[in-house]
Amino acid sequence: MFAIAFIFLFIIGRLFVVQVVDGYSLQEKAVDQWTRELPVKAARGKILDVVGNVLAENVGTYAVFVRVRCVSDFSLVAEKLAEKLDLDKEKLYERLKSATSSEVTVARQVDKKTVQELAEYQLDGVYFAPDNARFYPYDDLLCQILGITSSDGEGVFGLEKYYDKYLKGVDGEFLYEADLVGKDIDGKTVNYIPATDGLNIRLNIDLEVQRICHAVMQKAQTEYTPKSASVIVVQPSSGKILGIATTPSFSLNSPDRSDMAAFNKMIRSPLIVDSYEPGSTFKTVTAIANIDEYLLGNDRAFSLEHVFNSSRFRTVGGRQIKCWSTHANGKHANERLSEALNNSCNPCFVDIALALGKEKMYEYIEKLNFGKVTGVDFMGEASGMVMPLSAVTDGDIARISFGQTIAVTPLQLAMSTSALINGGTYYTPYLVDRIESSSGEVIQIMPSKSKGRVVSKEASEILRGYLERVVAEGSGNKAYIEGYRVGGKTGTAQKYENGVIAQGKYVMSFIGFFPANEPEYLALCVVDEPVGGSYGSTVCAPLVKEIFEKIISAKNIQPVEIKEKDKKIN
């Protein structure tokens, strides 16, 4: 009786496992045995600019499959497919004959006309399923940022990769009844599971601003034949990236992948993934540190009326540091901080850094996010290079004060400068504004993210005035626009090769913003090794001016009356 009871309990338990525990998986296996699937590719979501202009979309194509167990004449199938799809007939024949899987994907992203011609042959075992090919209406515009997709529709780099989980959707399938060996059953039924299309992403990028940036960088590439010319335009009060362009550019619709090393280099966005010594554009950090500490009552900070030693030289740690200017004929004499920014005089900033001390200087460097990623929604962002505080000597901090012995990304510099001139708040930069359905329903909004106050509002206002003077009458005067309040700072940085200065090789830059009193646009232009250019003031400042002038025209921004007190900024 015990034995019989045990057997019945075992059988009941086994039935419970089969029907309940493993029921679903066994049903799936059963369905899989008597059906065959053909995938239906989900439509990939679009990428749109801030007002809805399409930057990346799909064109309708088809995938061609062969169900090998349904093929009655392999030679005929191989011949016709090879003829229409431009394939090698013999290789295709061998591939089909030796296939171990029930379906073989012969081609992807085949146009409708070709599929219609193949359908007319009524080839046994040949099937077609909807597919998608990616298309970029503006071809090379935003090429390093948008990215591309693989033949399988997966994001490869850029925003296509970063936001792939939103864009790709969920594939569907056709289910065909088949016998045990995979052949179609006469009078078979077809079940269709529709695909769920991907979501659209709407960027902060403004197509008008982007086209302006792209055109001006193309012009710079032609005029100066540099290794690269790049510009980024941001909204200082939010962190929104409005435009970002780098040359040389490439076609998103037909990228050249014959040399993968060259391709991988070509797709990089140097504004985000590369670091460089910023040179004099970094003097804004040293200046704000002094202004902010002076306002806080730090007796090691110089007053805003302090007149710096007019000598061209400073000796720090046994090494001489000099100004780019010879100081001949009284130039750079009787300089206060505002004039030091105007003239971009290195010794004055050395004095500030040494007076404040390396600990205080590093406090501002860290608050402004140098040495850390900004958190932009883009893969591969670099963090720059900042020496450990414990290893910094007086000579190091002296050179850091004017943008040497420190490496930053252009994006880091753009966002730190935004914080210095927007009233003192640091914002995380971001490219995508929102996620939407294909019907325009908002699924998720990407809000502006503040990392908090880094300097006082008063210090920010003072620095804005100083930088407006740099453009109105100083080294940045080639960015001056009559009737508009523009501020900015120039930079010319030496390049290093194998640890030593590379003679005659420079990275030139200019960072500008307008309106200077309430900044709405900030642009950083970086030109790497321009031919025929001397300084950031002569190469990059005019480029930023041109970008601002075109934005003014495109957005119909009216000139303002500049009050007399603002024309002569102390």
pLDDT in 10s for each residue of the chain, 570 residues: 888 888 888 888 788 777 877 766 766 655 555 556 667 788 899 999 999 999 999 988 888 988 888 888 989 988 999 999 999 999 998 998 888 877 888 888 888 899 899 999 889 888 888 777 899 999 999 999 999 998 778 999 999 999 999 999 888 876 666 655 555 555 556 677 888 899 999 999 999 999 999 999 999 999 999 999 999 999 999 999 999 999 999 999 988 888 888 888 899 999 999 999 999 999 999 999 999 999 999 999 999 999 999 888 999 988 999 888 888 877 888 899 999 999 999 999 999 999 999 999 999 999 999 999 999 999 999 999 999 999 999 999 999 999 999 999 999 999 999 999 999 999 999 999 999 998 889 999 999 999 999 999 999 999 999 999 999 999 999 999 999 999 999 998 887 776 667 777 889 999 999 999 999 999 999 999 998 877 788 999 999 999 999 999 999 999 986 655 455 443
3-state helix, strand, coil split of the chain in percent (to 5) is 40, 25, 35
336 backbone φψ class: left, alpha, beta (φ>0; ψ -120 to 50):
beta
Q: What are phi and psi of 330, to 5 degrees?
A: 75, 10
* CA separation for the pair 367, 375 (Å, rounded): 14
Contacts of 260 (CB under 8 A, 6+ apart): none
Q: Calculate the alpha carbon distances from 141 to 54, 134, 145, 168, 210 in Å.
A: 12, 15, 9, 22, 8
| First-to-final CA distance of the chain | 106
Residue 515 preceded by cis peptide, ω within 30: yes
Residue 38: its pLDDT value, please? 67
Answer whether 232's CB lies under 8 Å from 414's CB: yes
- C-beta separation of 306 from 337 below 8 A: yes
Helices (H), 183-325: 207-224, 260-266, 270-273, 283-295
Is 234 in contact with 241 (CB distance < 8 Å)? yes
The tokens of 2 are what? Answer: 């015990």
> What is the per-residue pLDDT for 153?
84
Question: Reduced to 3 states, what is the DSSP secondary structure of residue 314?
Answer: strand
DSSP string, 394-444: HHHHHHHTTT-S-BB-HHHHHHHHHHHHTTSEEE--BSEEEEE-TT--EEE
Q: How many CA atoms lie within 13 A of 95 on its CB side?
A: 19
CB 525 within 8 A of CB 231: yes
Residues whose CB is less than 8 angstroms from the CB of residue 440 and which lie 6 or more positions away in sequence, other chains included = none
Three-class secondary structure assignment of 47-101:
EECCCCCEEEEEEEEEEEEEEHHHCCCHHHHHHHHHHHHCCCHHHHHHHHHCCCC
**Per-residue confidence (pLDDT) for residue 568, from 0 to 100:** 47
Q: Does residue 491 contact residue 536 with C-beta atoms inside 8 Å? A: yes
pLDDT score at 183: 57
DSSP letter (8 states) at residue 18: I
Structure tokens at 140: 């090379």
Task: Name all domains of the chain by residue range, CATH numbers in brackets.
Answer: 37-180+194-203 (3.90.1310.10), 207-252+260-567 (3.40.710.10)
Amino acid at 284: T
Please report the pLDDT score of residue 158 as a whole number.
96
Q: Is 121 helix (H, G, I), strand (E, B) or coil?
A: coil
User: For the residues of 181-208, what is the DSSP string, one character each?
Assistant: TSPBPTT--EEEE--BPPPEEEES--HH
Torsion 407-411-414-415 (CA) sign: negative
Asked if residues 232 and 244 have their Cβ atoms less than 8 Å apart, the reply is: yes
At 560 the pLDDT is: 83
31 contact partners, CB below 8 Å, separation of at least 6: 175
Query: Has 344 been annotated as catalytic?
Result: no
Catalytic residue among 280, 401, 416, 537: 280
Q: Which residue has the tokens 């899987």?
A: 101
Q: How far apart are CA 154 and CA 147, in angstroms?
A: 11
**CA nearest to 166, candidates 63, 56, 273, 244:** 56
